[in-house]
Amino acid sequence: MEFKLVYQVAFSLLIARWKQTLIAAIGVTISITMFVTVLSFMSGLNDMLDGLITNRTAHVRIYKEIQISERQPADFINPKGHNFVSSIKPKNELLGINNSKTILEAIRKDDRVLGVAPKINAQVFYNVGAVDLTGAIFGIDPVEENRLFKFSDYVTSGNYIDLKNIPNSIILGKGVASKMMANVGDVIQVTTSKGDQVALRVVGIFQSGIQDLDNVQSYCSIGTTQKLLGQPSNYITDIQVKLKDILWAPEVAKEYQRIYELNAVDIQTANSQFETGSSVRTLISYAVGITLLLVAGFGIYNILNMMIYEKMDSIAILKAVGFSGKDVNQIFISIALSIGIFGGLMGLLMGFGLSSLIDQIPFNTESLPTIKTYPINYNPRFYLIGGTFAIVTTYFAGFFPSRKASGIDPVIIIRGK
């Protein structure tokens, strides 16, 4: 039978039961709309939460850890005997990385590396009158820190580049600034672990979104931090490495640890629990979305089943005038696909519109200063999955009823009438 005639019959059946057809199409539309919206919102939420870690965490962190000496003095006195040593002390070494400039240059030449940022970790006390608050100052290169870790996005007051331009300056964490009642332009006092007291000018307020960190950490330039600790210009405690692909981090960390004989930890190992939570949220999002599509598919199946039952006479007449079982099968699959394509396209458009609407809703929280609206991820993959699933589910929803219709014996139907 000609395809044109088959599709004309399918269109006639669609129009004849237009209310049922409309309900089926609305079911698909709502399902695709919610599928796209839920995945876009949940994925955007995951990206936002992941950004709190990935934006501020190096893919590979190289540092030096103080360890006990492998051979104790007693081992030299009696090398062949057994020595029992208690209260073992670590080696008398600084936390600074030896030959740091050479290591930095070698890492920068690695084709896998996007960038490298040196860092100094200094334990200090913030002096507030007669009270000393425990804290930490990170010595950073402001330009590299901003390029690799979006440092400026988290500076809520002041300008991050002032760390480089103004000597003896500091950017305080929001929690520290609140406790000290310090604002941009004020001068504060900090005491190092050696007991030296230094005055620093506040040039900015930093808020990472993680309250425990904002209550203790602040930032100075590398030069200021080195002077604060009384260390030479080549003193650094950490090397932060940003890779072109975050998935390379575990392998690169092991390689650097072996080559430079330093401790190296990758971002996956350091934040394994956070990564697990992100995967679970993504899995739940897909499960909810696919469930919506399956429910819509069963609804179309029921509607087509009812349509076939009500159209037994028409099917019998079609077969009696020369339509084959294959033609009847094509008619009802065409009806199902028409519903799926129309409902799917409308669902994708409405899903995009609803996602855009959510993206404009204000979302203001003190813990996330860089987030102004609810996060949405407009990944084309969600729309591709939604459109494909709409067609596939409606195809199978029409396939089984159409197979039943194609096997109807017209003689039995007409005789029964």
Locate the domains of the chain by residue range. 3-54+274-416, 60-67+91-267
Per-residue model confidence as pLDDT tens digits over 293-327: 777 667 767 776 776 666 666 777 777 777 777 77
What pTM value is reported for the model? 0.66
Tokens of 279: 């995967």
Joined tokens for residue 402 = 């159409």
CA distances from 191 to 94, 122, 206, 212, 229 (A): 19, 11, 20, 21, 10
Pairing of strands 155-158, 131-140: unpaired
pLDDT single digits (tens) 357-367: 998 888 776 65
Q: Exposed e or buried b for every residue in 381-394, given b needs 16+ CB within 10 A?
A: ebbebbbebbbebb
What share of the chain in percent tops pLDDT 90? 24
Highest mean pLDDT among 12-21, 95-104, 208-217, 349-358: 349-358
CA angle 194, 196, 198 (to 5 degrees): 140
Which of 45, 372, 53, 377 is closest to 209 using CA atoms?
A: 53
pLDDT at 90: 55
| Phi, psi for residue 334 in degrees, rounded to 5 | -65, -40
Tell me the pLDDT of the chain averaged across its residues.
81
